[in-house]
Every structure is written in C-alpha cells, then in structure tokens.
C-alpha cells in the first residue's frame, strides 16, 4: 500500500499533499516549525487553502524526519534558489537527500519536483541518497522526476487542470505511480528520461522570461521615442502570429531562477548561452527603471516630501501572497530609505506579516494617504482605489 510523504510545504508541496490526501495516507514534512504548527491548526500563510479544507483532510504534518520513515513514496518540493553569484543554491536539496539517505528503505520511491538543471537528479541527488546506506538506485529504491508547474493566482491553470510530466525510468510500480499522479493533474505526460524532463522544465520558463524581457525592451524604447506603447502593441498584435505580452516586473521562483540553472550547466559543458540570459538582463534592469520613474513622478507631485505616500502591491504577482524575488518589494524598500513617509500596503498578505512589517491593514488608514503608487494591481487594491476621493493622486507603474 502506498503511503505518501511530501517534503517541502510551500506553493508546490501543499497542493500536491492536499490532492493526494483524498485517496492515500499522507504526511507533510517541512523544516519550518511555524509552518507546521500553522498547518496543524488549518492556517495557510499563502491563503491557498481554507481552514475547513485543511482540517477535514487526514494529513499528518511534521518537522521530524523520524516520523516520515514509514512512508514509501517521497515527493520532494523544496526550494532551489540562486545565490548572490547567481549560481544554483542546492543547500535545501542537499539537506533533504542527506536526510533521506538515513531513512530510505528497500523499494521506496522518490520523485523530485524542485527546479534543477539537466543531470542534477542523477549526478547530484542520487549519489547523496546512496551515501549512508547499502542501497542502490534502480535496484533497491527508485527515483523519478516530475517538474512542478504550479502557477499561483491562476484559477484556470490550477494543478488539477494542467498537463504534468512524469519521468520514471523503472518498471517497479510504474502503473501505480502514474495513477497516483493522475490524482494530482488532469493529464500525465510520461517520459522514461529524467535528464530530458529536467531540461524541458527550465526551458519552459526561460522562453517566457525572454519574451517578457523583449516586451520590456520594446516598452523602454517606445518611451524613449515618445511613442504610445499600448497603441504600438495593439497595432502589432493585429498580425495573426504576433505573441502579445505585457511589460512588467518579473518575480517569483521560476522565471528569475531557471535561466541561471540552464546557463550554469551549459558553461559546465563548454557552451556559453547567448539568448538564455537575455531576458534576465533586461528584466533585472526593470527594478532600476521603475524606481527612477516613480522617483521622477514623486518629485513633480511632491517636491517637499510633505505628502503621505502609499506603495500598493508588494508581492511579485497579482492576487498572489508570494514575496519571493519580488521586484516590487525591492523597489519599496529602496524608496523607503529616502522617504520615511512611504508606507506599504498589500491585502494578499495576512495581518501577521503586515503588522510585523508595519504595513497598512485597514481601509480607514488606506484612504488617509495623498499619493498611491500602484505596482502590483491586486483586485482588492483596484476596488479600494475606486472608493477614494477624486483629489487623490495615483501613480500607475508601467501603464
């Protein structure tokens, strides 16, 4: 009988755990003690699941590695960020593999979902898992890879409605494993090749990052040429094969990370990519561009810095409570250093986080400001701005 343990209970891990708990005995493991305590009480910091959903599921939440020993299917969804040198930071993955090496049993299955570069599962993860035991992958235990495709805030492409790739080059419980993953996503695209699947994962996001970078560059050039960007794009998109993207601040876990993972392994194999990081260059630059644009507008509106300013939208994406790699948050912190009267507001964040960071919470306080800088346009922010008096000033970034 399959007993599932999901390791890493963030935006990727928790939805998988909740879906599988409908049919299987499940355990959720995370090193964050507070996260575990919250989930036990039915509280989801990211507001993805309501209390009643978490409470009615029979899930064992734990931060003790000893309490997951009885599981026989481990799904790994830990973060794989980049370091200050923009190289892969594999510390979370290394920690998990080392822990698994001490509790792994014969016939256990491990599926990695974390973002990796091509070859990392076989060359990095498996040797670590084999380190503290006499077990051999492919003989005693089995490893696969199923890249996450979670899109926070997207009600159309939820985990259940998307196609999901599963790479598993073994016959052991193959049909059973596919059935397990069929509970997670609408359609399972099966592959026998882990390395090819790892590559597919990163290039999915690199393609989008490059496209957004190109549109951001178009936006900046149109401004320099004093052209109406929106009119230009509407005219261009009248052609049948023009792909319409919007300029913006690119954050989150995938797009700002995956290009560096792919570029890293390319260099290791004596190939310097030319286009892969092109999107990163311009998209990283947007932090400086947007901050400068806001600063210039504020100088014209409030040269004496006497007015109360509210920075609206700190998370990286509309209607999502995710601050990872948020350029909006970065801009807010930078502006606040030079003007202590600037406050932040983000209704997607829970009150605990907002109070800790001295953010505006109530509408009564929200409407007391003079200038509103709109960065991440959450639906609640949009509705609240419409309720303000007409004498208020709204600076809409990238509009």
- Give residue-wise pLDDT tens across range 189-233: 999 999 999 999 999 999 999 999 999 999 999 999 999 999 999
Residues 152 and 44 in one domain: yes
State the pLDDT at residue 356.
87
Contact 202, 115 (CB under 8 A): yes
Domain count, the chain: 3
| Residue 367 DSSP SS3 | coil
Residues 215 and 324 in one domain: no
List the catalytic residue out of 5, 97, 125, 254: 254
Does residue 154 register a pLDDT over 80? no
Does residue 157 register a pLDDT over 80? no
Residues 321 and 337 in one domain: yes
For 323, which DSSP code? -
DSSP result, 85-134: TSSB--HHHHHHHHHHHHH--TT-EEEE-S---TTHIIIIIHHHHTTTSS
State the pLDDT at residue 275.
97
State the pLDDT at residue 259.
97
Q: Where do we find the tokens 């029979």?
A: 58
Residues 57 and 104 in one domain: yes
> Of 277, 297, 319, which marks where a domain is finished?
277
Burial of 33 (0-12, 13-18, 19+ CB in 10 A): exposed
222 counts as catalytic = no
CA–CA distances in Å: residue 237 to residues 105, 222, 249: 56, 16, 21
Residues 270 and 386 in one domain: no
State the pLDDT at residue 57.
85
**320-333: burial string, b at 16+ Cβ within 10 Å, e else:** bbbbbbbbbbbbbe
Residues 286 and 273 in one domain: no
Instruction: Give the whole-angstrom CA distance, residue 345 versus residue 5.
Output: 36
Side-chain-side CA neighbours of residue 237 (13 Å): 11
Q: What share of the chain is helix, strand, coil (3-state, %, to 5)?
A: 40, 15, 45
> Of 212, 247, 277, which marks where a domain is finished?
277
State the pLDDT at residue 296.
93
Instruction: Give the whole-angstrom CA distance, residue 111 versus residue 333.
Output: 38
DSSP result, 167-191: E----TTHHHHHHHHHTTSSEEEEE
Window from 26-35, 118-127, 167-176, 356-365 with minimum mean pLDDT = 356-365
**Residue 187 backbone phi and psi in degrees, to 5:** -135, 135
The range of the structural domain enclosing residue 261 comes to 201-277
pLDDT tens track for 288-339: 999 999 999 999 998 888 899 999 999 999 998 889 999 999 999 999 998 8
Residues 227 and 99 in one domain: no
Within 10 A of 270 (CB to CB), how many other CB atoms are there?
A: 6
Contact 151, 255 (CB under 8 A): no
> Of 136, 162, 192, which marks where a domain is finished?
192
Does residue 13 register a pLDDT over 80? yes
CATH number for the domain that contains residue 171: 3.40.50.720
Instruction: Give the whole-angstrom CA distance, residue 320 versus residue 239.
Output: 32
């Amino acid at each position: 009988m399959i007993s599932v343990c999901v390791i890493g209970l963030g935006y990727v891990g928790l939805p998988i755990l909740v879906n599988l708990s409908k049919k299987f005995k499940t355990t959720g493991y995370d090193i964050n003690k507070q996260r575990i305590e919250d989930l036990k009480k039915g509280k989801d910091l990211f507001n993805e699941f309501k209390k009643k959903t978490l409470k009615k599921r029979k899930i064992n939440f734990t931060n003790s590695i000893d309490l997951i020993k009885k599981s026989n299917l481990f799904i790994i969804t830990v973060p794989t960020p980049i370091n200050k040198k923009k190289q892969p930071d594999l510390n979370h993955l290394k920690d998990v593999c080392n822990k698994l090496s001490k509790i792994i049993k014969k016939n256990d299955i491990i599926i990695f979902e974390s973002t990796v570069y091509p070859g990392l599962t076989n060359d990095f993860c498996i040797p670590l898992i084999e380190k503290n035991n006499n077990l051999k992958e492919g003989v005693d235990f089995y490893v696969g890879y199923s890249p996450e495709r979670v899109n926070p805030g997207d009600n159309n492409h939820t985990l259940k409605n998307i196609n999901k790739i599963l790479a598993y080059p073994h016959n052991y419980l193959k049909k059973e494993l596919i059935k397990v993953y069929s509970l997670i996503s609408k359609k399972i695209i099966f592959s026998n090749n882990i390395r090819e699947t790892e590559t597919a994962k990163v290039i999915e996001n690199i393609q989008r990052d490059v496209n957004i970078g190109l549109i951001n560059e178009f936006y900046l050039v149109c401004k320099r040429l004093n052209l109406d960007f929106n009119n230009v794009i509407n005219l261009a998109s009248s052609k049948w094969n023009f792909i319409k993207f919007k300029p913006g601040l690119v954050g989150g876990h995938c797009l700002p990370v995956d290009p560096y993972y792919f570029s890293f392994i390319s260099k290791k194999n004596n190939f310097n990519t030319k286009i892969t990081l092109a999107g990163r260059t311009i998209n990283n630059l947007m932090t400086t561009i947007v901050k400068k644009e806001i600063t210039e507008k504020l100088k014209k509106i409030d040269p004496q810095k006497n007015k109360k300013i509210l920075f609206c939208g700190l998370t990286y994406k509309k209607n999502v409570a995710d601050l990872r790699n948020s350029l909006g948050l970065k801009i807010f912190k930078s502006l606040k250093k030079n003007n202590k009267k600037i406050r932040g507001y983000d209704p997607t964040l829970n009150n605990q986080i907002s109070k800790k960071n001295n953010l505006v919470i109530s509408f009564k306080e929200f409407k007391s400001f003079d200038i509103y800088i709109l960065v991440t346009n959450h639906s609640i922010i949009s509705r609240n701005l419409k309720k303000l008096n007409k004498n208020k000033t709204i600076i809409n970034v990238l509009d």
